[in-house]
Chain A
Amino acid sequence: MSLSLLFVQTLNGLQFGVLLFLIAAGLTLVFGVMDFINLAHGVQYMLGAYLAVMFYALTGNFLVALVLALAAALVFGLLLEFVVFRHLYERDHLEQVIATFGIIMFLNQGVKVVWGAAPLSLPIPEMLSGTIVLMPGILYPVWRLVIIGSGLGVGLILYLLVTQTRVGMLVRAGATNARIVSALGVDIRRLFMIVFGFGTMLAAFAGVMIAPILSVEPGMGDGVLILAFVVIVIGGIGSMRGAFIAALLIGLVDTLGRSFAIDILRLVMPPSPARTVGPAIASMLIYVLMALVLYFRPAGLFPVRGR
């Protein structure tokens, strides 16, 4: 358990956390402002990845594929909003859950029909595909640093948007009390569409950025969706700051847990059981964390309003 390994693992945790933040940000916005549980947020992440693969195959250029994928994801997201979701805002949470679960089923299977069940992949752009020497003997893939950088960048942009712009002001107000916003005479429907479209793009962006590292396959959004929910619940629903901090927290706890759980257990038990118990505990860690946070703070770390 050397210091340099700890450093690298922290970086890995950061990268995972940033990815979770990109997905959770949209989820917490949609949930916070519209009081809408969108389980289909995960398939929008998956769709981003698939679209990028498709556009890359057509154009051969990562950047162009990225832009096209985001645009296509946005169009698709708005279409979904128009056809289905906007009829669900006034419904109770359970109905939202079941309807968006139906969308997940449909899109997971649809993707399989269109692109096949086999995993696909997206290459890293040539100039960013190498590794750099972080410290003697420790190489680190440039692309992972790019993910960290772009995630932090998006976080900064979001912060500026939310704190400095009129739409951002409305979003904050909406997360605190939606009735006030509509009382201000704002076209709530348009605000919702903007927020929803934005959330969709963020999820798709996460999908595109991670596609070169992970295999692009049907159902890739399901696990991430649950983690994103863990993040926004720990952070406090509707809180962008909460989502950011919780995402990094989850990323670090999960990564560091996986790396060091066994080593730590070996201190107190023989190596063989430690090896099997360790991964189980590591998998559980984030859920334990969530349960603890909610036990002491039943509305998350940064509660936005008393729900």
Chain B
Amino acid sequence: MVKVLMTSVAAVALLIGQAQAQEKLKIGVVTTLSGPAAVLGQQLRNGLQLAIKNSDGKLGGREVQLIVEDDELKPDVAVSKAKALIDRDKVDFVVGPIFSNILVAIMKPVTDGGAILISPNAGTSNFAGKDCNANFFVTSYQNDQNHEVMGKYAQDAGMKKVFIMAPNYPAGKDSLAGFKRFFKGELADEVYVPLGQLDYSAELSKIAAASPDAVFVFLPGGMGVNFVKQFRQAGLADKVKFLSAFTVDESTLPAQKEAALGFFGGANWAPNLDNPQNKKFVADYEKEYNAVPATYAFQSYDAALLIDGALKATKGNTADKDALRAAMMKAPFTSLRGAFKFNTNHYPIQDFYQVKVAARADGKFQTEIDKKVFANYADPYAKDCPMK
């Protein structure tokens, strides 16, 4: 009798245990998988998947179910997909997106819906400042910062005259504003091109005519691929220093190749950043996806680590949001970039580097750390954020 009771208790306990283990942690991903920008969106997704795989499919001890949605780079589609994640799938976290305009669109539905939004790339100034949100965390940077790195570098290097250019949209204007915040020399010209422009012949002719010390450009994705190639073809690479942000990175280098050699960028990380966790990440990523990871992949990998660490602290509990947020604020994980902590606005405080494009022995290309420009750098908008 006792024996029977014992076994049934054990069985019940086992069942309960299983039930607990079986309740999966649902993480939604909103990323761009359509169109030319898909290459960035795939890196984001890959980084997450890799992190989950490396911890045996679990984060914070809970089995993870990843639900990936393509925002198609259309805000209304993104909102609909975000609502689906919140309402249909009842996710606890949403990781994404790549683009700022999508972030602005999905912020309200996700955070109002009670999930925690972790941006592994876009970090607009409004959400860093007065519109900061308790349910919103950023594992990348505030959008201006990589541009500020370049501005500081140009200033410190004593450059006299710089030609700056960005696409004509809010992030483009933030970019040049960020550069100008630290660069006080003469601007040969300040040019805004239409978003998605492919041929830069007109601008290159202007650059050649102005003959500045350096150009600073913010031309993400295919725009950067085209500009870098055309810049090299126009014979400017030997005469004018090439400074950039989000223009030469591992997502574009496979197409830019030699054309980008020796060009500079500003970043919070590079594949050759020297620490053991990063070495393992880069090696794993290359093995899994046969490509060199870019910042998008590393930042979403960090987002997964952040979830992992926070859930370990709350023992897998996602229901108590206050406890969860408090745990996340402590940034309880070893970031691939080394030192990392959250500011009051839930944006990172971190180091920034000037990186340089180099060829690797295996024929691939990557950015490499050239010089640390900022240490423990926080964005200036945090002071406007009411969260303390």
Contacts and interface: CB of A to CB of B under 8 A. Distances in A.
B196 interface: yes
Contacts of B229: 121, 212-215
B36 A12 contact: no
B114 to A, nearest CB: 33
A12 B205 CA distance: 9
B198 interface: yes
A218 B201 contact: no
Nearest to A217: B36
B194 interface: yes
B225 to A, nearest CB: 4
Interface stretch (A66-74, A111-119, A160-168, A240-248): A111-119
Interface residues of A, number: 48
B257 A121 contact: yes
A306 interface: no
A138 B204 CA distance: 11
A16 B256 CA distance: 22
A258 B168 contact: no
Contacts of B87: none
Given A139-B208, A213-B230, A215-B226, A131 B201 contact: no
A138 B208 contact: yes
Contacts, number: 131
Interface string A131-167: 1000001111101100000000000000000000000
B201 A16 contact: yes
A16 B205 CA distance: 14
Interface string A265-307: 0000000000110111011000000000000000000000000
A139 B230 CA distance: 12
Contacts of A223: 196, 198
B233 A119 contact: no
B252 A119 contact: yes
B13 to A, nearest CB: 48
A117 B46 CA distance: 13
Interface residues of B, number: 43
B168 A117 contact: no
Given A117-B38, A121-B255, A131-B235, A214 B205 contact: no
A139 B234 contact: yes
Given A118-B251, A120-B255, A121-B229, A214 B198 contact: yes
A259 interface: yes
A113 B257 CA distance: 22
A214 B233 contact: no
A119 B193 contact: no
B17 interface: no
A8 B205 contact: yes
A65 to B, nearest CB: 16
A184 to B, nearest CB: 43
Contacts of B236: 139
B336 to A, nearest CB: 22
B205 A259 contact: yes
Contacts of A282: 194
Contacts of B42: 117
B169 to A, nearest CB: 10
Interface in B50-88: none
B233 A143 contact: yes
Given A255-B201, A278-B192, 7 more contacts: A12-B201, A119-B252, A130-B235, A214-B199, A214-B226, A256-B202, A258-B202
7 contacts: A9-B201, A117-B38, A119-B221, A213-B233, A259-B203, A276-B168, A276-B173
Interface of B: 33, 35-36, 38-39, 42, 168, 173, 190-194, 196-199, 201-203, 205-206, 208-209, 211, 221-222, 225-226, 229-230, 233-236, 251-252, 254-257, 259, 291
Those 4 A-B pairs whose CB atoms lie nearest each other, nearest first: A215-B225, A12-B201, A117-B38, A131-B235
